[in-house]
Structure 1
Amino acid sequence: MQNALQQYKLLLADYLTPQWKRVLGLAIALLTSIALQIINPQILGYFIDTAVQGGSQQALLTATIAFIAIALLTQGTEIAATFLSEIVAWTATNALRVDLAEHCLRLDLSFHKAHTPGEMLERIDGDVNLLSKFFSELVIHVLGNSLLLFGILIVLCFENQLAGMSLTAFAIVALIALLAQRSIAIAPWAEYRQISAEYYGTIGEHIAGREDIRANGAVNYVMFRFYELLQRWLPVYQKARFASTVLWFTSVGLFTIGNAIALFLSAYLWSRNAITIGTAYLIFHYTNLLAKPIERIREELEQLQQVEASIQRIHQLLNIEAVLKHCGQAVLSSGACAISFKQVYFRYESENWTLHNLSFHLPAGKILGILGHTGSGKSTIARLLLRLYDIQSGEIRLGDCVIADLSLSDLRSRVGLVTQDVQIFQASVRDNLTFFNDQISDAYILETLELLGLTPWLRSLPDGLNTQLGADSTGLSAGQAQLLALVRVFLKNPSLVILDEASSRLDPQTEKMIEGAMDRLLEHRTGIIIAHRLPTLQRVDQILMLEQGKIVEYGDRETLTQQAHSRFARLLRMSAN
């Protein structure tokens, strides 16, 4: 409880402080509404006593007008409070969503490999949605209704000490009973939120792989997984709802007892002429009014049971630290850069060594071709050069700098990577080419497209560079998507270019189209070409062959070609046959 309140306090401090004027206005509106709710029954009690005692029509009319005016003013303040609370809630939750999304984008690939996109959507948006009301209502409404509760009890004590003390004791017992049951649903609601995240993660995974699922007849298996997940989900939801229902049942029972106490006290005191009929009404009315703050506090605490789980999950996510330390400040010198691996050892989590004692040197402006079976560590080299992961031991240098000493922003702006899987954003062609960089001119983009032979395709689009593309590559063939990826690298103008199976999805005609463009791209730059197809290695200067993360052959391409006993020469002879 204490830890959850501390976490909630930190969230309030971070996201409500910038909106302190709105929060102040919300507090004023709520407190005004509370004061008016306490005052208006006094007018009604006065009206009843005046009418019973045969008071003047003018006094009754004045009381009536005052009662209506205060009732209308109460409604107006409640509307103002609702309006302000919605603005405060949306502003705070949107800021929290931005912070969570930005935090997740900064986390390492190892984190994202362990969590599905659907799960992350649920944690960034689903958990935050539950916090919407609490940013604007929890503290203010709990405090406000507590003040209303105390105000009612104080007024009751002034009206009649016995009634005030009796109903104060009732209110204390009611609150203790409700607070004692508050924590019973925290664990079920936390489990419910976790299964919910798994559910949305599963949906995202299966929608993304829908073609393969249908083509390979795996629909029944997928439906079985859904059925299994739903079987787990429903009992947890029922358990959580049952715990909340216990709170509701307790509050209904307590209010019934409170009304009975009020009726008994009113009848007893009136029969002894200790109070007027108007005061008897006030006691009963205030007792009914007690139900509102107690019920509201109960509702807020019931919601807090669900939100506590979300608060904990949000803090857990925000407290996850990137393994990579972004402390480097060095920058690469302009132009092509040399690459050096010295006794590099690397492995992913809970795996054997992916790279084992890897050492090689590629001079600046030279091109390295990397060969090896699937899983031999080829793509891992590309990820390490972008510093998507850090090595366990050894040293990697770009130019004169150890890669860990380089500024990450500078490093990733100077290294261009093209993979076989191209990410297309649901945005315009221009934004997909420039990664939303408005500083790149349309003239430069068109010049680059002309260089790659994509101008005819661009002209076929209805809105040219402003044509909207779908997130699933709608409007592009696999070859065109690969060509767009090459344009991205052209526009980036990097010092090091890495082509990771970049031509594996291209048909011969499209591949031939970009041969000249690739030559231009690699000109005056250091390059690495990772490939299975030997023809793509005709332009490389050096060959590196990997097997299970170890170098089995490394040297000048021409030299290895002329050595009949070399692995590379044998591969060339096998491909020729």
Structure 2
Amino acid sequence: MSRYGGYTLGRMKFDDSQEKPDLSKEMLLRISRYFLPYWKQTLVVLVILAATSVLGLLPPLLIQQIVDHALPGKDLRLLALLVAGSLAATVASGLLGVLQSYLNAFISQNIIFDMKNQMYRHLQGMPLQFFSNVKQGEVITRMTSDISGIQGVFNGTIVNFASNLLMLITTAGTLFWMNWKLALVSVFVVPLFVAPTRKMGSLRWKLAKETQEKISEQNHIIEETLSLSGYMLMKLFTKEDQERDRFKAVSAETTRLQIRESMAGRWFMMLVNTFASIGPMLIYLCGGYLFIRGEITIGAIIAFVSLLGRLYSPVGQLTNLYVDIKRSVALFERIFDYFDMEPQIVDAPGADSLNGAGSAIEFRNVSFAYQPDKPALRDISFKAEPGTLTALVGPSGAGKTTITNLIPRLYNADSGSIRIGGADIASITLKSLRSSIGLVTQDTYLFNGTIRENLLYANEEATDEEITQACQAAYIHDFIMKLPDGYDTVVGNRGIKLSGGEKQRLSIARVLLKNPSIIIMDEATSSLDTVSEFYVQQAMNVLLKDKTSLVIAHRLSTIMSADNILVIQDGRVAEEGKHQQLLERNGVYKDLYDKQFGKKVT
């Protein structure tokens, strides 16, 4: 088993301890399932391959007739017919090749389309913990270059195998039909093609695996340093030189591995070509002897030499196919590694939809740990009634955000239960559960689109009037109308063209359009200036009205009027009550209040 930052993968066959990929019956069956929807097109490809294999035999055979009959007999009509026949066979083979290329592209690209969609859908079901720990460059590599490599698997492995096998069978049969003695001489060098193949396959597979890992590392560096946040961090800490050197080092290693892989194949093909040159020399030697004895014609010798390329080329390709298969299996195993990760957070059998707006949220002895033996929450119990505001306060790392992440089941609790309206959330469908929850965080995420597009993400059916009403309620409409393009203003990557307060109010407007029964706000005003905080606070008052609300706040001034305050410390509920009650207890909350306001309260 392997782990991605605490997230246990499913059946992980592909690890550093392996020396070769496992081409098992199960693996072949699993790969074949992706080709089944396109069996009709594949069948047409096989028919075309068979036809082109036969057509490819005609030019050498017609050349034999030209040399042995048309030229010695000075038969111009026969010569013209034979030349025309050879040309027609070549043109027909070329036209069929064009059709085959189209079908190859159609099948491979549709398989890539199916696999990318399956991978995207599968990754959507992975828990938040997976994305919190796995390198983004790794995910991008498997979604792009790994899956795109499937095109090479189809064109370079499957079609190549069928094409070369048919060519080998038809050519060998023709050679033995023409002269069995020369045919035996022709196949004499075939064993020389097979000898170096197995060692070369292992080497190229190892190099391919290392190359893909380095490409993933490259993508990770790009994602980290050229994303908006990473770019700003790099600039502010003047780390351009270090990051450039890091990227250059990984790129250099990737280039070195790619050159090694390329040259490994070249050396292999050089040996194959060397062995292939022996055959024609033997044919000229033995064929000349048979010609002198009167057992064969000059045209037959020429045809034999012409057909040797059609014999040795597929033999070389088929022996080299072992190399391609190992590389293809390595590619599929990297993809299947992700498919084998089973989503941990799924709908329970017979799960029901969440009914009842504004239902109570209740935690019953809930415990949770991101890593074994390091609990983040310990025996948490509380109840948030409908239409009330429950505030979560406490030092950083106490477990406040973890509590709010458990409600929409971004994680599953290890023990205890969380109930909404009396129903355990584990028995509620994820779609209905999350549709009932609106989340506003400190780090508001906006797509690089227009304000309207970002708002419609919450409700695609929202009218212009509803959008305007939501923005007015969020105290952002007047600001939007002052922009040159109004609601069609592009906000930039992650909303960089807007201030923190403006992004927060847009986020609130977006949640208002969603109109959920449960609102969660995670430190929504902690990084805002006084003016922005005022407007966001006014928008929050509208948003939280008549909702079941949980608010995480570092600024105690924003939650003094909360119906209930939970003081979280070391993953436990240290204190619970209203603001004044907690002050009178002289406990953790009182200490937090005194430190924040710099005074003692009696």
TM-score range, shorter chain: over 0.9
Do the aligned partners of residues 332 and 288 (structure 1) sit closer, same or farther apart at CA in structure 2, a change above 3 Å counting? closer
Correspondent of 2:359 among 337, 344, 359: 337
Preserved CA contact (<8 Å) 2:568 2:575: yes
Give me the whole-angstrom Cα distance separating, in 1, the residues matched to 2:358 and 2:342: 33
Report the Cα offset of residue 292 of structure 1.
3.3
SS at match of 1:485: helix
Report the Cα offset of residue 540 of structure 1.
1.3
Correspondent of 2:589 among 568, 571, 576: 568
Give me the whole-angstrom Cα distance separating, in 1, the residues matched to 2:251 and 2:588: 54
Moved more, 546-555 or 168-177: 168-177
SS at match of 1:337: coil
Moved more, 236-245 or 543-552: 236-245
Task: Give yes or no for the alignment of 1:445 onto 2:467.
Answer: yes
Equivalent residue letter for 1:258: G
Equivalent residue letter for 1:13: S
Task: Give yes or no for the alignment of 1:288 onto 2:309.
Answer: yes
SS at match of 2:379: strand
Correspondent of 1:418 among 428, 440, 460: 440
Give me the whole-angstrom Cα distance separating, in 2, the residues matched to 1:488 and 1:559: 35
Give me the whole-angstrom Cα distance separating, in 2, the residues matched to 1:573 and 1:474: 36
Report the Cα offset of residue 302 of structure 1.
4.1
Task: Give yes or no for the alignment of 1:264 onto 2:278.
Answer: no
Superposition pairs for residues 62-461 of structure 1, below 5 Å?
62-136=81-155, 138-171=157-190, 173-175=192-194, 177-178=196-197, 181-208=200-227, 209-230=230-251, 232-297=253-318, 301-327=322-348, 329-350=351-372, 352-435=374-457, 437-461=459-483
Equivalent residue letter for 1:321: E
Which ranges in structure 1 are unaligned for 5 or more consecutive residues? Answer: none
Give me the whole-angstrom Cα distance separating, in 1, the residues matched to 2:259 and 2:481: 58
Give me the whole-angstrom Cα distance separating, in 2, the residues matched to 1:110 and 1:564: 37
Equivalent residue letter for 2:367: Y
Correspondent of 2:64 among 26, 42, 45: 45
Do the aligned partners of residues 575 and 114 (structure 1) sit closer, same or farther apart at CA in structure 2, a change above 3 Å counting? closer
Alignment length, in residue pairs?
A: 576
Deviations 1:136-179 (A, max 9, x none): 55222211211101110110000000112232343355246535
SS at match of 1:340: strand
Report the Cα offset of residue 281 of structure 1.
0.6
Do the aligned partners of residues 394 and 455 (structure 1) sit closer, same or farther apart at CA in structure 2, a change above 3 Å counting? same
Correspondent of 1:13 among 26, 32, 39: 32
Preserved CA contact (<8 Å) 1:7 1:311: no
Report the Cα offset of residue 299 of structure 1.
5.9
Preserved CA contact (<8 Å) 1:183 1:305: yes
Give the equivalent residue in structure 2 for 1:507.
529
Do the aligned partners of residues 160 and 225 (structure 1) sit closer, same or farther apart at CA in structure 2, a change above 3 Å counting? same
Identity of aligned residues (%): 25
TM-score after normalising by structure 1: 0.93
Give me the whole-angstrom Cα distance separating, in 2, the residues matched to 1:202 and 1:430: 33
Report the Cα offset of residue 120 of structure 1.
0.9
Do the aligned partners of residues 305 and 436 (structure 1) sit closer, same or farther apart at CA in structure 2, a change above 3 Å counting? farther
Give me the whole-angstrom Cα distance separating, in 1, the residues matched to 2:540 and 2:467: 16
Do the aligned partners of residues 571 and 254 (structure 1) sit closer, same or farther apart at CA in structure 2, a change above 3 Å counting? same
Equivalent residue letter for 2:211: Y
Report the Cα offset of residue 224 of structure 1.
4.5
Do the aligned partners of residues 166 and 8 (structure 1) sit closer, same or farther apart at CA in structure 2, a change above 3 Å counting? farther
Give me the whole-angstrom Cα distance separating, in 2, the residues matched to 1:393 and 1:7: 37
Give me the whole-angstrom Cα distance separating, in 1, the residues matched to 2:541 and 2:268: 72
Which ranges in structure 2 are unaligned for 5 or more consecutive residues? Answer: 1-19
Moved more, 136-145 or 119-128: 136-145
Equivalent residue letter for 1:488: R
Preserved CA contact (<8 Å) 2:59 2:89: yes
Give me the whole-angstrom Cα distance separating, in 2, the residues matched to 1:566 and 1:118: 46
Give me the whole-angstrom Cα distance separating, in 2, the residues matched to 1:266 and 1:473: 78
Give me the whole-angstrom Cα distance separating, in 1, the residues matched to 2:60 and 2:522: 77
SS at match of 2:575: strand
Preserved CA contact (<8 Å) 1:193 1:309: no
Deviations 1:45-71 (A, max 9, x none): 111111343152111111111111111
SS at match of 2:494: coil
Report the Cα offset of residue 570 of structure 1.
4.2
Equivalent residue letter for 1:357: D
SS at match of 1:3: coil
Give the equivalent residue in structure 2 for 1:478.
500
Structure with a larger share of its residues in helix? 1
Preserved CA contact (<8 Å) 1:431 1:437: no
Moved more, 190-199 or 567-576: 567-576
Report the Cα offset of residue 413 of structure 1.
0.7
Deviations 1:264-289 (A, max 9, x none): 23222222221111100111001122
Give me the whole-angstrom Cα distance separating, in 1, the residues matched to 2:33 and 2:434: 31
Give me the whole-angstrom Cα distance separating, in 2, the residues matched to 1:351 and 1:487: 41
Deviations 1:104-133 (A, max 9, x none): 121112211221222211111011121113
Preserved CA contact (<8 Å) 1:345 1:355: yes
Report the Cα offset of residue 296 of structure 1.
4.0
Do the aligned partners of residues 128 and 452 (structure 1) sit closer, same or farther apart at CA in structure 2, a change above 3 Å counting? same
Report the Cα offset of residue 464 of structure 1.
4.1
TM-score after normalising by structure 2: 0.89
Preserved CA contact (<8 Å) 1:424 1:471: yes
Preserved CA contact (<8 Å) 2:459 2:514: no
Give me the whole-angstrom Cα distance separating, in 1, the residues matched to 2:63 and 2:147: 43
Do the aligned partners of residues 351 and 38 (structure 1) sit closer, same or farther apart at CA in structure 2, a change above 3 Å counting? farther
Moved more, 249-258 or 100-109: 249-258
Give me the whole-angstrom Cα distance separating, in 2, the residues matched to 1:207 and 1:164: 62
Deviations 1:475-494 (A, max 9, x none): 32222222221122111111
Moved more, 179-188 or 125-134: 179-188
Preserved CA contact (<8 Å) 1:426 1:470: yes
Preserved CA contact (<8 Å) 2:517 2:548: yes
Do the aligned partners of residues 451 and 51 (structure 1) sit closer, same or farther apart at CA in structure 2, a change above 3 Å counting? same
Equivalent residue letter for 2:329: E
Preserved CA contact (<8 Å) 1:178 1:251: no
Give me the whole-angstrom Cα distance separating, in 2, the residues matched to 1:412 and 1:169: 70
Do the aligned partners of residues 236 and 72 (structure 1) sit closer, same or farther apart at CA in structure 2, a change above 3 Å counting? closer
Give the equivalent residue in structure 1 for 2:4.
none
Moved more, 65-74 or 290-299: 290-299
Report the Cα offset of residue 96 of structure 1.
1.0
Deviations 1:241-286 (A, max 9, x none): 4432342222122212223333323222222221111100111001
Moved more, 282-291 or 523-532: 282-291
Do the aligned partners of residues 242 and 7 (structure 1) sit closer, same or farther apart at CA in structure 2, a change above 3 Å counting? farther
Give me the whole-angstrom Cα distance separating, in 1, the residues matched to 2:364 and 2:236: 45
SS at match of 2:493: coil
Deviations 1:295-348 (A, max 9, x none): 444565544443332111001111111222432612322221212222221111
